[in-house]
Structure 1
């Protein structure tokens, strides 16, 4: 009997969690499956796509950018609404193929090396400790929302430092991420957590360009330039200040490029979008995902508290078990095969990281959280030329926050059910109420 992959294309499916049983059944049935794209949640229907399910096929695809292009149709499952939207999206590093991709990646790569991350470790640890102490307060026990009170702010503080955004403006990044990643979730699509009174003049000026909801309460598509006009306005205001007073941050590095390496206006805007949104969202959801992993495996949490040396392997296992980014799209440039299945030129091909990271061919007992798992060739940060620049930074933030939290608590448990993002792209956590008791 065939297995219907239809629920995987509907963002509403994931409000109840990732359907791992369905992915396992599909993975057992074959290396790829064809998925239809019906009209959903106000979006038009699409031509359908191949979903790649097994670890070996996902890694093989991602290391072949000439055959499976990021540029041809960009990297979101749904096609951009207009040719103009596609042309603009193609100026983002995420949606480029080599060699153009390397031209934009090289200048900023040195900001994310292990040595560069090591220079940030003290401030990340200090921020993590301060956030934990703020959440716990002076009480011996209590409750908090891990997703909002801890997991949201640490990546914002880190990214503000790396990107060169003034710290008072960091919650702008939170709202932008919500609107882009959560545009199919009514709780996130109109996010407005930033308090303009606490921000800079540039932030207040950018807010004047913020799109307004229509009569039905819907914001314009945030995957278009018009849908994020406030983000782009802020990018140019920040660029002006960096030209007057450059620093060591990523924006200053980008603006210092000359000659053939100089960025066009569209490339600069898209690079800021990429760091402000993607640089925040993956670890922001990886942190509460790791908390859920430990809450679901209390013996593993107790062991990690007793044996902090386990963090050396635990960080990657927590990320694998959760897998914040569930899928990414490529487009076939020529007729080919994946796992023996014919794929035609122009077909959309979507890799399932959520499935690949639970592939029993690679991971023994893949649904079990094993903090000692080694080797752990998970694909949370992708593979091939687009491997995530911020992988070292993400790993360290997760480690710093949980080291601080577990060192100060004797017990952590659910204080209520988690709330998951309505999205088939990002495995997001909107709320995670926890109950804690101090050591």
Structure 2
């Protein structure tokens, strides 16, 4: 084991937690390359001003995979499962009465509670069950592409397709009326886009962290109120939808708590569309920048699965999670002490050249694309099969209906350290 801690240079440590750095993207990937090239696949980030608790930043694919799969050594609780400053963590605890988690969902849980709650819906999200909703998803995809083509030959793909399409899919699955979908979109953007003034809809640039936390807390409160009413309705009159499964779920013979029910709905409603939206837009950006690759996948539909997996890796919508060491351990040559906080950086891992040759290139023919964008181990994304299905169906329709695409302006990424992706993608296209 190492006897000295490998400290990450302060300017890189600052970039790792800076939402503006994730909006810039390429310079951030340069920083991750520097860390790996200089023996800092695992390195300590210490804030010069003590604004956050020190944490281990993990930039290597193998190391991220090891932490992700070892759910006994590296816990999602008791500390925050996403990066937080000391001030925002204190505010979260004040709001919740002591918990650092504004939402108590599967993401914030460990065994034995986590697997029991996860099993309530695990079968629902398996491929054999998703075949029951495939026709419905295709209808939504066809309507989404038709709306895009009706807009003419140019427009913002994020607003026309990549944002509303997965939102409509997951809300239909949850049983949320279409009339409430815009409300769900706004609340999700406030939760995940709190660091971006365009997405949090505050009208205020450079919000202090405490105000961002207040925006997120407000969105959580609105989500909880909405889904409490939906749960009450589904308990009274259950139907064949995911909302009914959650509302009537039991663990060890007892109904799940109101907080757990709310957390289940919120993670399904929010994480179920923002991430797929980001991957879908990322794929379109890559294909618009590479006409030869667009022509290749249009001519060979066997590459559809390659488009999907590469888009998810290349975009990496969920950019990090935090873990807390339960016991002393060794990782990447570094001694991790019980109680230490760790950041598993999925963006860095999915751009590790030791795992992915030429990682910044979008390659639909990439072989053995074993990315970690869905996580791994007990906390691997519950909706990964749904996300893949949505993207495959959408690109089947898009490739049928469009002959050519190109950029029509400058794309823009969200300013976010947690869930990120394109917030604008101006495209020009020629319909088939």
TM-score, length-scaled by structure 2: 0.89
Q: Helix, strand or coil for the counterpart of 1:221?
A: helix
Within 2, Cα distance between the matches of 1:244 and 1:104? 21
Within 2, Cα distance between the matches of 1:259 and 1:387? 21
Which runs of structure 2 are paired with 1:36-51 in the superposition (5 Å)? Answer: 36-37=46-47, 45-51=51-57
Q: Helix, strand or coil for the counterpart of 2:169?
A: helix
Which runs of structure 2 are paired with 1:345-360 in the superposition (5 Å)? Answer: 345-360=338-353
Partner of 1:52: 58
Which runs of structure 2 are paired with 1:18-417 in the superposition (5 Å)? Answer: 18=26, 19-30=28-39, 31-37=41-47, 45-78=51-84, 80-81=89-90, 82-83=92-93, 84=97, 86=99, 89=102, 91-137=104-150, 139=152, 142-190=153-201, 221-224=214-217, 226-258=218-250, 260=252, 261-417=254-410
Within 2, Cα distance between the matches of 1:87 and 1:12? 24
For the 8 Å contact 1:145–1:431, the answer to whether it is kept is yes
For the 8 Å contact 2:402–2:431, the answer to whether it is kept is yes
Within 2, Cα distance between the matches of 1:314 and 1:423? 24
Report the alpha carbon displacement of residue 220 of structure 1 after superposing the two structures with TM.
5.3
Against the structure 1 CA distance between its residues 217 and 266, is the aligned structure 2 distance closer, same or farther, given a 3 Å change threshold?
Answer: closer
Within 1, Cα distance between the matches of 2:413 and 2:401? 27
For the 8 Å contact 1:178–1:191, the answer to whether it is kept is no
Report the alpha carbon displacement of residue 320 of structure 1 after superposing the two structures with TM.
1.0
Report the alpha carbon displacement of residue 401 of structure 1 after superposing the two structures with TM.
1.6
Asked if residue 13 in structure 1 is aligned to residue 34 in structure 2, the reply is no
Against the structure 1 CA distance between its residues 16 and 111, is the aligned structure 2 distance closer, same or farther, given a 3 Å change threshold?
Answer: same
Within 2, Cα distance between the matches of 1:272 and 1:37? 35
Report the alpha carbon displacement of residue 227 of structure 1 after superposing the two structures with TM.
4.8
Q: Helix, strand or coil for the counterpart of 1:86?
A: coil
Report the alpha carbon displacement of residue 151 of structure 1 after superposing the two structures with TM.
0.5
Within 2, Cα distance between the matches of 1:37 and 1:85? 24
Unpaired segments ≥5 residues, structure 1: 193-213
Against the structure 1 CA distance between its residues 176 and 38, is the aligned structure 2 distance closer, same or farther, given a 3 Å change threshold?
Answer: farther
Q: Helix, strand or coil for the counterpart of 1:271?
A: helix
Report the alpha carbon displacement of residue 28 of structure 1 after superposing the two structures with TM.
2.0
Report the alpha carbon displacement of residue 421 of structure 1 after superposing the two structures with TM.
0.7
Against the structure 1 CA distance between its residues 15 and 314, is the aligned structure 2 distance closer, same or farther, given a 3 Å change threshold?
Answer: closer
Once structures 1 and 2 are overlaid, which stretch shifts more, 376-385 or 354-363?
A: 354-363
Hey, which bits of structure 1, 4+ residues long, moved more than 3 A? Answer: 1-4, 36-39, 87-91, 216-220
For the 8 Å contact 1:34–1:49, the answer to whether it is kept is yes
Against the structure 1 CA distance between its residues 341 and 218, is the aligned structure 2 distance closer, same or farther, given a 3 Å change threshold?
Answer: closer
Within 1, Cα distance between the matches of 2:370 and 2:191? 29
Within 2, Cα distance between the matches of 1:429 and 1:269? 28
For the 8 Å contact 1:326–1:426, the answer to whether it is kept is yes
Within 2, Cα distance between the matches of 1:360 and 1:428? 21
Q: Helix, strand or coil for the counterpart of 1:47?
A: coil
Q: Helix, strand or coil for the counterpart of 1:371?
A: coil
Over the aligned positions, Cα root-mean-square deviation in angstroms equals: 2.5
For the 8 Å contact 2:67–2:74, the answer to whether it is kept is yes
Report the alpha carbon displacement of residue 182 of structure 1 after superposing the two structures with TM.
0.7
Report the alpha carbon displacement of residue 259 of structure 1 after superposing the two structures with TM.
5.7
For the 8 Å contact 2:401–2:431, the answer to whether it is kept is yes
Q: Helix, strand or coil for the counterpart of 2:214?
A: coil
Q: Helix, strand or coil for the counterpart of 1:57?
A: helix
For the 8 Å contact 2:81–2:108, the answer to whether it is kept is yes
Unpaired segments ≥5 residues, structure 2: 1-6
Against the structure 1 CA distance between its residues 158 and 353, is the aligned structure 2 distance closer, same or farther, given a 3 Å change threshold?
Answer: same
Q: Helix, strand or coil for the counterpart of 1:187?
A: helix
Within 2, Cα distance between the matches of 1:367 and 1:110? 35
Q: Deviations over 1:239-264 (max 9, x none)?
A: 12212221122221122224625211
For the 8 Å contact 1:164–1:250, the answer to whether it is kept is yes
Q: Helix, strand or coil for the counterpart of 2:276?
A: helix
